[in-house]
């Protein structure tokens, strides 16, 4: 499958491919890899070039880089939360001092970030959060509360936290967007959450009077900033994600041929449907790329890829047959179990329709903001 994007910029694509071939090492430490990317200027391609240490690239070039990265053997990124979520938010809502303080270390791969949004009682319903922040002398805040499902918190240097700074406020009122350093012993505790896959990329984070000196968008402006950030979450990276999906689908097809499952007409029909739906998602992503004002586009995209990826995981197990229940290594109670790539795909994809806004929340957004249906009653 050719998933190349706008081939007229082949010079940039070739440069990216050559650099990745020379530097990408799948076994490299992820923090070291971020610094390698930063040193070469590959972090922050979509930012303005204003002394932050990044290259600048057109939208076409950004997609070309993302696609080449997805095809390469490069390690998974640890810095994408700072680069693709926080940085555009600071460019849109931050002060000059905040941009000068935080963008250069992100561009250099020196500071890693995590996102403090979801809570045990406020996952997809973000406006119900209870984490509180009290303003003290000299404009500092003390943050107390708990966040959950915080990706890469165990590696992060900083966390952007949505907290309630107005006592007695409710829903989206009285919230502020705070930047909290993670290195605060006794005030910030990170507890990894073991997933079905046996890995622990998600974490619980407990704040017990943690100090924050930076508020983005002004006190009480957190909801607007938070919603703006969510708009950055599904941009160029969606097309790169689909490159990964295409490679996973290819692996499923090769497995179906090897096991003989491809001889089953029902399996063949499912494979063709997965391929056709992936192509449709790609063209939909290209249609909306760089656009604005379409309130439902991010929710439609999330619904499409989450369900598609989950169905691919189920198909991966179907084509394996009984062998899908056997791991690549003998299991012992004293050691973590191992999974092969397709088993990991199946188990991890069970969460796709929950994290990043559950399917139910996405449908509510589409119903209210696009179709104009009556708003769902909220307490």
Q: Which residue has the tokens 């290259």?
A: 55
Tell which residue, 154, 167, 163, 54, has the closest CA to residue 112: 154
Residues in Cβ contact with 335 at an 8 Å cutoff, skipping those fewer than 6 apart: none
Annotated active-site residue in 15, 189, 219, 233: 233
- Helix, strand and coil content of the chain, in percent to the nearest 5, comes to 50, 15, 35
Rounded-to-integer distance, Cα 116 and Cα 139, Å: 21
Rounded-to-integer distance, Cα 203 and Cα 154, Å: 7
Contact criterion met (CB below 8 Å) for 187 and 205: no
Is 155 catalytic? The answer is no
Contact criterion met (CB below 8 Å) for 55 and 45: yes
What is the enclosing helix (H) or strand (E) of 35?
A: helix 30-39
Tell which residue, 234, 237, 238, has the closest CA to residue 365: 234
Q: Give backbone dihedrals phi and psi of 336, rounded to 5 degrees, phi first.
A: -65, 145
Tell which residue, 343, 353, 354, has the closest CA to residue 197: 343
Active site amino acids = 233
């Amino acid at each position: 499958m050719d998933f190349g994007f706008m081939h007229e910029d082949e010079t940039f694509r070739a440069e990216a491919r050559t650099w990745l071939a020379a530097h990408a090492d799948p076994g490299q430490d992820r923090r070291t890899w971020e610094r390698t990317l930063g040193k070469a200027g590959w972090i922050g391609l979509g930012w303005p070039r204003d002394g932050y240490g990044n290259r600048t690239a057109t939208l076409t070039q950004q997609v070309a880089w993302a696609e080449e990265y997805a095809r390469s053997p490069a390690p998974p990124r640890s810095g994408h939360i700072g680069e693709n979520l926080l940085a555009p938010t600071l460019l849109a809502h931050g002060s000059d001092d905040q941009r000068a303080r935080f963008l250069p270390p992100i561009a250099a791969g020196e500071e890693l970030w995590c996102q403090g949004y979801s809570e045990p009682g406020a996952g997809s319903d973000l406006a119900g959060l209870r984490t509180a922040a009290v303003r003290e002398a000299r404009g500092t805040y003390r943050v107390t509360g708990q966040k959950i499902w915080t990706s890469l918190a165990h590696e992060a240097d900083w966390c952007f936290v949505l907290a309630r700074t107005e006592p007695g406020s409710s829903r989206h009122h009285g919230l502020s967007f705070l930047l909290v350093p993670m290195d605060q012993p006794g005030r910030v505790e990170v507890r990894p959450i073991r997933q079905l896959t046996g890995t622990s990329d998600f974490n619980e984070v407990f704040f017990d009077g943690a100090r924050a000196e930076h508020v983005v968008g002004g006190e009480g402006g957190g909801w607007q900033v938070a919603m703006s950030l969510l708009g950055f979450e599904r941009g160029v990276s969606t097309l790169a994600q689909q490159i990964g999906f295409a490679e996973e689908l290819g692996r499923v097809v090769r497995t179906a041929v090897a096991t003989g499952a491809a001889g089953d007409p029902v399996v063949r029909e499912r494979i063709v449907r997965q391929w056709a739906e992936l192509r449709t998602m790609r063209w939909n992503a290209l249609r909306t790329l760089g656009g604005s004002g379409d309130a439902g586009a991010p929710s439609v995209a999330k619904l499409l890829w989450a369900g598609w990826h989950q169905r691919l995981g189920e198909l991966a197990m179907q084509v394996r047959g009984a062998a899908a229940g056997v791991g690549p290594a003998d299991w012992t109670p004293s050691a973590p179990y191992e999974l092969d790539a397709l088993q990991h795909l199946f188990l991890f994809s069970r969460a796709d329709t929950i994290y990043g806004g559950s399917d139910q929340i996405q449908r509510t957004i589409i119903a209210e903001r696009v179709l104009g249906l009556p708003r769902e009653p909220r307490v």
